[in-house]
Amino acid sequence: MWKFQHAFRSDPHRPDLTSTSVESAFWESEHEAEYTIGWVRITVGLALFVSGFLVSSETAGFAQEYNLTQLRVTALTTVAAFLALGITSFLLVISRQFRPWMAFALVTGDALIIGASLYFALNDIGLAGNWVVILPTLWAVPLLLAVGALRYRPLVQLWATSATMIAVISVAAGLGFSLTGNANPAEEQGVSRLLSLPPYIMRAVMLMLMGLVTALAMARSRRLLIRIARETAKRANLARFLPAEIVPLVGDNDVATWRQGRRQQGTILFVDIRGFTAYAEKLDPARLSVFISSFRRRVMRATEASGGVIDKFIGDGALIVFGIPEPRKDDCARAITCAQSILSLVDQWNTKRGFDPPIRVGIGIHSGEMYYGLVGDEHRLEFTVLGDTVNVAAKIEQATKRFDATLLASETVVMQAGQQHAWVAVSREPLGGRGEHVALYTFSGTKPHE
């Protein structure tokens, strides 16, 4: 029983149970995205750090010849900073401390690291801001944006782009930007260093990593689309057998959990058209189908407005449940509201169509313990509500014929709804299990205006 109750426990970060499968899939994908981005950042950081270290070791003499030692230190420090930021992100995710706003903080940190690296690299080799585009560090920008594409958050990506552009422009302006772009001899010597072998090796590594990250982003998008397609197919299959209100609930939980069933308090409403058999004999099949469909639409409208769930339509009647998936204190009051709404809609229907004799319905309401869940196999599932409460509600609806009443409710319903002043006791009937007597009440108050 605990497992079934736990399945419906609210989660403030999860979409409402009635959300679509697409929203659910995106919610799960966003959760996975931050985890994926965390380890991708670490992997990319390690790859760049190892590549930079190996390049520095193998080209140490080359670096001294071209005065690239300071540039090499700056590059390794930059990669180490990215790696540290990636580790921080990953730890936040796996410890469940990560919050959506932290994504903005992380990409801001990326922009600051890029800006600092560009500034110190250019400053160390004596280049003006015009030469910012030839630094290997700038190649990290599309790589970071590719990593950011793993999450489906356009605002974060837009901010990452804007923050990076602000950092690059600030460095270019801070180091002096020549409108003509003419290089002096000192700058030409610095440029030749950036066009040497070690920087090109790092550019090649980053280009390869960009390709791998974008391939990963495509794979995640493909996996998400497949998940949505499967979820949609699953719900379409469920919709063939289950009530429309139940499909979203089952879709967001495990079918096996629903098969275990659950016992809880709930309120049952039965509604049935009086004298339907005689009336149906006067209609041809086409008109009869339109008539039944019209009646059911009115029942569905009233049920939806009051927050109930239609378990099933039975010919000219319907079984409506209040208290799924969790019981509420106002279940009885909402059931009464639903009943009054059905009566009002039927009255309007009679006025509009001029039925002679007028269409009449009988409604019975009872509240108590019930069982609900899914029964059947993968070929045919059925949502069902069982128990003495359901049987009593059906008998109360049948009793409306004997008392010539349109609406009867048990004493339990009236008391729990707190509407004793608006109802009158008409009888005490042996309707319950083992001959238990149930007090019946008929509505005597003023119906709400539609």
178 & 279 share domain: no
Are 198 and 145 spatial neighbours (Cβ–Cβ below 8 Å)?
no
195 & 332 share domain: no
DSSP 388-448: HHHHHHHHHHHHHHHTT-SEEEEHHHHHHHT-GGGEEEEEEE--SGGG--EEEEEE-SPPP
422 & 279 share domain: yes
Domain that holds residue 38: 12-236
Nearest CA among 446, 420, 417, 245 for reference residue 336 = 417
260 & 135 share domain: no
277 & 300 share domain: yes
pLDDT, position 62: 41
Whether 259 maps to a domain, the answer reads yes
Whether 448 maps to a domain, the answer reads no
Q: How many CB atoms lie within 10 A of CB 257?
A: 17
The proportion of the chain whose per-residue pLDDT surpasses 70, expressed as a percent, equals 68
Q: What does each C-alpha distance from 200 to 161, 182, 204 come to in angstroms?
A: 24, 23, 6
The CATH number of the domain where 348 resides is what? Answer: 3.30.70.1230
Query: What confidence category does residue 183 fall into, taking pLDDT thresholds of 50, 70 and 90?
Result: low
Whether 242 maps to a domain, the answer reads no
217 & 307 share domain: no
Query: What confidence category does residue 160 fall into, taking pLDDT thresholds of 50, 70 and 90?
Result: confident
pLDDT, position 343: 95
167 & 45 share domain: yes
Per-residue pLDDT tens digits for 274-315: 888 888 888 888 989 999 999 999 999 999 999 998 888 888
pLDDT, position 71: 64
195 & 292 share domain: no
Per-residue pLDDT tens digits for 208-261: 666 566 666 657 677 766 776 676 666 666 666 666 666 666 654 556 666 777
Whether 327 maps to a domain, the answer reads yes
Per-residue pLDDT tens digits for 14-53: 334 334 455 655 666 676 777 888 787 788 777 766 766 6
Whether 49 maps to a domain, the answer reads yes
Are 413 and 366 spatial neighbours (Cβ–Cβ below 8 Å)?
yes
Task: Please give the distance of CA 277 from its chain centroid, rounded to a whole number.
Answer: 45
219 & 292 share domain: no
Whether 136 maps to a domain, the answer reads yes
231 & 262 share domain: no
Q: Pick the last residue of a domain from 236, 261, 292.
A: 236
Q: In whole angstroms, what is the distance from residue 408 CA to residue 345 CA?
A: 18
Q: In this predicted model, which residue has the larger pLDDT, 405 or 175?
A: 405
Are 210 and 150 spatial neighbours (Cβ–Cβ below 8 Å)?
no
Whether 7 maps to a domain, the answer reads no
199 & 272 share domain: no
307 & 429 share domain: yes
Q: Give me 143's structure tokens.
A: 């790589």
pLDDT, position 249: 64
Q: State pTM to two decimals.
A: 0.53
Q: Give me 324's structure tokens.
A: 């799924």
Q: Pick the last residue of a domain from 204, 236, 268.
A: 236
Whether 346 maps to a domain, the answer reads yes
Q: In whole angstroms, what is the distance from residue 209 CA to residue 48 CA?
A: 9
pLDDT, position 136: 74
Specify the number of domains making up the chain: 2
pLDDT, position 164: 84
